[in-house]
Amino acid sequence: MDTITHALSGALLGRATKDNTSNSGLSLRVRILVGTLAAAFPDIDFIARFFGLISYLETHRGITHSFVLLPFWALLLAYVFSKLSKGRYQWRDFYFVCASGLAIHILGDVITAYGTMIFSPVSDAKFSWPTTFIIDLYFTGIIVVALIATTIFRQQGKNIAIVGLCVLISYIAYQASLHHDAKKIAQTYAEQKNLEEAKIYVMPQPLSPFHWKAIIKSSETYYISYINLKSEFVFRISESASLFEKIKNIYRPVNKLQWMAVKQYGNEDEKLSKQIWYMDFMKSVRQFMLYPVVDSIVKLKDKKCIWFKDHRFVLDGVRAGPFRFGACKGQQSHWKPYHLLDDMPVPLFK
């Protein structure tokens, strides 16, 4: 989930847990502010980006997104807020709000497809229940509307905030039912094609809760389809169509789906692609990518490069994805790791 939505969810939770009739504890304004900041805090791990892209990918949604370390982070934040209040409040007054804000952030990330290390540092396993796209305007809109309503109707603010959270949970539950429907479609296709040991993964997509991407892996081949669970028509768009129109047009009705067969190691030089993929310097990339596939093999006069992409982040015909890694080799040099940034090879390790 994006950081702004996380922060807003913390504000709403802070409002929902404030007793309107009590003057004890944090004031309403302070409680909402603390909930906002605490819910945004876990994304402070973006600072790892300054140490290189690989450092960021290895640590993002790690220790700051851990339920194991949540009590520690809540205590740290509570102590800091207590000091900032200059003695007006004790750390105990802040602790519950901080812990709640951290928890709603972690849960908000778990429901996306990226993966979250909720047991870090005990385990670096990434957990995901992908019901919600990372930027979901409906999800964010529910929170915003509820917060506005609590401001307009102050006396009923707590009840309105609770209702807002209930609506948000109901929306996630509805998305979970759509996830089930999309997965059932993929399972049916795998059975019809007799795909051996098929592993099925479906993930939410941009612009609509009815947009889903299905990935079926059988051996070293992916079968991929973009699903619109609601539409019954395939729309034609012009070459001058906007980006949003192009994205929306990818997703097809259930009765008119197109399945693409994509070889994990490409069609050009599978042996070399597999060799590069399993080189030691690609270990971090292998740990990060869930559905890797060869993006391209580029041959230049003085260099040859092999690029991989993760189909979690690919929108066919629109974008290849933000994370493309690989290796390049000059005529008189060995293979070295790179990542592709604005179509330019950049050394992977500084």
Residue 63 pLDDT more than 70? yes
Report the pLDDT value the prediction gives residue 235, as an integer from 0 to 100: 74
**Binning pLDDT at 50, 70 and 90, where does residue 52 land?**
confident
CB of 345 closer than 8 Å to CB of 338: yes
Residue 131 pLDDT more than 90? yes
Sheet harboring 324-330: ordered strands across?
292-299, 303-310, 324-330, 336-341, 344-347
What is this structure's pTM? 0.89
Provide the token pair at 279: 């080189």
Radius of gyration of the chain (CA): 23
Mean pLDDT of all residues in 345-350: 79
Q: Give pLDDT tens digits for 88-105.
A: 989 999 999 999 999 999
Report the pLDDT value the prediction gives residue 267, as an integer from 0 to 100: 83
How long a stretch of residues is the chain? 350
**Binning pLDDT at 50, 70 and 90, where does residue 57 land?**
confident
Domain residue extents for the chain: 3-129, 179-263, 270-347
Report the pLDDT value the prediction gives residue 19, as an integer from 0 to 100: 67
For all residues of the chain together, what is the average pLDDT?
A: 90
CB of 298 closer than 8 Å to CB of 289: no
Residue 21 pLDDT more than 50? no
CA 86 – CA 30 distance, rounded (Å): 13
